[in-house]
Structure 1
Amino acid sequence: MALVTQDSRNIGEDSGHGLGERMRKLLRGHSIEITAKDVNSLSEAAQLVPAGTSISVTFLPGEDVDARVAAAGAAKRLGFSPVSHISARRLKSTAELETFLSRLAQHGVESAFVVAGDPAQPEGPFEDALAVIQSGLLAKHGIGRVGISGYPEGHPQISEEKLWRALKDKHAALKVLGHECEITTQFGFDAGPVLTWLERVREEGIEAKVRVGVAGPASVKTLLRFAARCGVGASAKVMAKYGVSITKLLTTAGPDRIIEEFASGLNPRIHGDVALHFYPFGGVKNTAEWVAHFAGLEAVR
């Protein structure tokens, strides 16, 4: 994470040719996450985002099915590829899942991201993401590409052993059922753990595309708040590494430094197919503008 300044340049201008190309590739294949409330913001940013970009629509408590379906439909109409999130433990019945998937199909949605969700106990018949995958309902309603979660820095409530078992089981189930699999990670502030985790992913025989989560430009105070809420490591050591101190909490920071560090250490032969997934904590348009500027994509449409 590095501070964004007025004189920030497009990537590659002061980087080695190979590094600049790797950074551009990561940025050009990026995806963006939105909530159902971000539809207007996505519309405002549409001209800055390449057509066909994957737009993830979260499954947050307090947002109803109508809002989630409407957001996915809006993303589709804007020329993007909506990825509707499904929180397994928040589903109260199989019928609720069927209805949701059926309505998404009416908008041409072909991708979903399945996660267990936050409730300690399921509110219905689905214990976890694997249960939703194995139900066969995703394929029944035209979902071909399925995203699952990855945790390079671990999970505060789940052991590392269980995380790896869950990842391998979900990947295997999707392969058996004929789905295309993608893995999207939680956002972080340090590239090192991500690269180490990616290496193990490939050693475990998982060849799926991995979308590495990074936070879009936002105030440092906002980034720290989301990090604490999501259980992301944001130690004083890591924050200092990226030039952020307690006296700069209201300063806007963007992910240019961590992306450069990540691209520097990325080796496709070891780490496989990788792209970036942006969490726009500072706003969808701000994130889209940042990506367009740093990737040299100011006129994408």
Structure 2
Amino acid sequence: MPALSFETFPPKSLDASFHLWDTVRALTPLGPRFVSVTYGAGGSTQKLTQEAAQTLCKTSGLPVAAHLTCTGQTRDEVLRTAKRYLAAGITDLVALRGDGTDGGHFAPVSGGFANSIELVTALSRSGPFKIRVGAYPDGHPDAASAAQNIDWLKAKIDAGACEAITQFFFEADSFLRFRDACADAGITAPVTPGILPVANWSRTKKFAQTCGTPIAAHIATAFDRAEREDRAELFALTQCAELCDTLLAEGVDALHFYTLNRPDLTLKVCRALGLVPQTSALHVA
């Protein structure tokens, strides 16, 4: 059985707080190795992320991985946040460069980390953290080449990261080629595929465009047709389950799901894969 992990995002309202808790509660029976709490776009929701991560750590009984980015903060501010996480019992971090505060290109603030390698290096020296980093099977938008994309990941691993979690992708070959390239480059740390069950096709297309994830014409056509024929959820379930099944058949032993605080489709994908929850008393509000 593959190891599972799930990404959530912090709530911005009381109702959203209940929804986040319901999401975590629904996914807990699957026995995740950790649940992560992300920052919003451009480094927004930093305080909300910190509050949500610490609350989940206290109440969920699950390992919680808190996101930290370079965006909009000085080095000292980032490291103070890391120390607060450590004091709260959170030792799992997801360290990312982040995007610009206005949604544009990243630029460090005065006294801030210039990139994710600097961030990982400092975090690895500041406490007993388990640091995970991002990886990009289809290439990071700022990478000049596929080789540079791999070299940058290796540098983050060498700086102290223990695992990489990829950006989402639509075709298994994207990940498998990337995994092979990482191995050829001497990267021995686990590279875990990030999986996005497509609960909203229009929103997913915008996500993909923002992060540079290509969508093959046949996949876009199939999703468009499924929406027109009012079977979008069924097709999304089939597409995601087939993607995961192919990865598992190729030796992948861990999956990281981007839930968008909507656990239903993720649960259905896991059930389709035969990953039965540890209890039948499962309720999704």
The TM-score bracket by the shorter chain reads 0.7 to 0.9
1:170 to 133, 156, 161: 156
In the alignment, the residues of structure 2 paired with residue 62 and residue 122 of structure 1 have an alpha-carbon distance, to the nearest angstrom, of 12
Q: Does 1:153 align with 2:134?
A: no
Match of 2:22? Answer: 44
Q: Does 1:134 align with 2:121?
A: yes
Q: How many Å apart are 1:83 and its aligned residue? A: 1.2
Please list, as runs of the form range in 1=range in 2, the aligned pairs for 1:226-237 lying within 5 A after superposition. Answer: 226-237=207-218
In the alignment, the residues of structure 1 paired with residue 43 and residue 67 of structure 2 have an alpha-carbon distance, to the nearest angstrom, of 14
Which structure 1 segments of 5+ residues have no match? 1-24, 268-272
Higher RCO (C-alpha under 8 Å, 6+ residues apart): 1
In the alignment, the residues of structure 2 paired with residue 140 and residue 123 of structure 1 have an alpha-carbon distance, to the nearest angstrom, of 21
Question: Do 1:51 and 1:79's aligned partners in 2 also have CA atoms closer than 8 Å?
Answer: no
The residue matched to 1:278 in structure 2 has which SS? strand
Question: Do 2:6 and 2:35's aligned partners in 1 also have CA atoms closer than 8 Å?
Answer: yes
Match of 1:286? Answer: 264
2:184 to 185, 203, 221: 203
Q: Percent identity over the alignment? A: 21
Question: Do 2:69 and 2:96's aligned partners in 1 also have CA atoms closer than 8 Å?
Answer: yes
Q: Does 1:102 align with 2:83?
A: yes
In the alignment, the residues of structure 1 paired with residue 27 and residue 257 of structure 2 have an alpha-carbon distance, to the nearest angstrom, of 14
Q: Are the structure 2 counterparts of residues 163 and 289 from structure 1 closer, same or farther at C-alpha, using a change threshold of 3 Å?
A: same
2:34 to 36, 54, 73: 54
Q: Taking structure 1 as the reference length, what is the TM-score of the superposition?
A: 0.77
In the alignment, the residues of structure 2 paired with residue 98 and residue 188 of structure 1 have an alpha-carbon distance, to the nearest angstrom, of 32
Please list, as runs of the form range in 1=range in 2, the aligned pairs for 1:237-276 lying within 5 A after superposition. Answer: 237-240=218-221, 243-246=222-225, 248=227, 251-252=232-233, 253-254=236-237, 255-264=240-249, 266-267=250-251, 274-276=253-255
AA in 1 matched with 2:152: A
Q: How many Å apart are 1:288 and its aligned residue? A: 4.5
Q: Are the structure 2 counterparts of residues 100 and 196 from structure 1 closer, same or farther at C-alpha, using a change threshold of 3 Å?
A: same
Question: Do 1:56 and 1:85's aligned partners in 2 also have CA atoms closer than 8 Å?
Answer: yes
AA in 2 matched with 1:161: A
Match of 2:94? Answer: 113
Question: Do 2:131 and 2:163's aligned partners in 1 also have CA atoms closer than 8 Å?
Answer: yes
AA in 2 matched with 1:56: S
Instruction: Give CA-to-partner distance per residue, 1:73-119, whole Å, 9 cap, x none.
Output: 2322202211111112x142122112211221122111111112112
AA in 2 matched with 1:172: D
Question: Do 2:150 and 2:185's aligned partners in 1 also have CA atoms closer than 8 Å?
Answer: no
Instruction: Give CA-to-partner distance per residue, 1:258-293, whole Å, 9 cap, x none.
Output: 1122233x14xxxxx641111124x43224532452
Q: Does 1:67 align with 2:59?
A: no
Q: How many Å apart are 1:138 and its aligned residue? A: 4.1
Which structure 2 segments of 5+ residues have no match? 101-105
Q: Does 1:123 align with 2:109?
A: yes
Greater alpha carbon shift after TM alignment, 50-59 vs 209-218: 50-59
Question: Do 1:182 and 1:209's aligned partners in 2 also have CA atoms closer than 8 Å?
Answer: yes
In the alignment, the residues of structure 2 paired with residue 41 and residue 130 of structure 1 have an alpha-carbon distance, to the nearest angstrom, of 34
Q: Are the structure 2 counterparts of residues 64 and 262 from structure 1 closer, same or farther at C-alpha, using a change threshold of 3 Å?
A: closer
In the alignment, the residues of structure 2 paired with residue 224 and residue 146 of structure 1 have an alpha-carbon distance, to the nearest angstrom, of 29
Question: Do 2:241 and 2:269's aligned partners in 1 also have CA atoms closer than 8 Å?
Answer: no
Question: Do 1:209 and 1:274's aligned partners in 2 also have CA atoms closer than 8 Å?
Answer: no
Q: Does 1:78 align with 2:60?
A: yes
Question: Do 1:39 and 1:74's aligned partners in 2 also have CA atoms closer than 8 Å?
Answer: no
In the alignment, the residues of structure 1 paired with residue 120 and residue 225 of structure 2 have an alpha-carbon distance, to the nearest angstrom, of 44
In the alignment, the residues of structure 2 paired with residue 245 and residue 170 of structure 1 have an alpha-carbon distance, to the nearest angstrom, of 38
In the alignment, the residues of structure 2 paired with residue 292 and residue 39 of structure 1 have an alpha-carbon distance, to the nearest angstrom, of 24
Q: Taking structure 2 as the reference length, what is the TM-score of the superposition?
A: 0.81
- The two structures, once aligned, show a CA RMSD in angstroms of 2.4
Q: Are the structure 2 counterparts of residues 51 and 162 from structure 1 closer, same or farther at C-alpha, using a change threshold of 3 Å?
A: same
In the alignment, the residues of structure 2 paired with residue 274 and residue 201 of structure 1 have an alpha-carbon distance, to the nearest angstrom, of 16
Count of aligned pairs: 258
Match of 2:9? Answer: 35
Q: Are the structure 2 counterparts of residues 53 and 39 from structure 1 closer, same or farther at C-alpha, using a change threshold of 3 Å?
A: farther
The residue matched to 1:142 in structure 2 has which SS? coil
In the alignment, the residues of structure 1 paired with residue 226 and residue 269 of structure 2 have an alpha-carbon distance, to the nearest angstrom, of 27
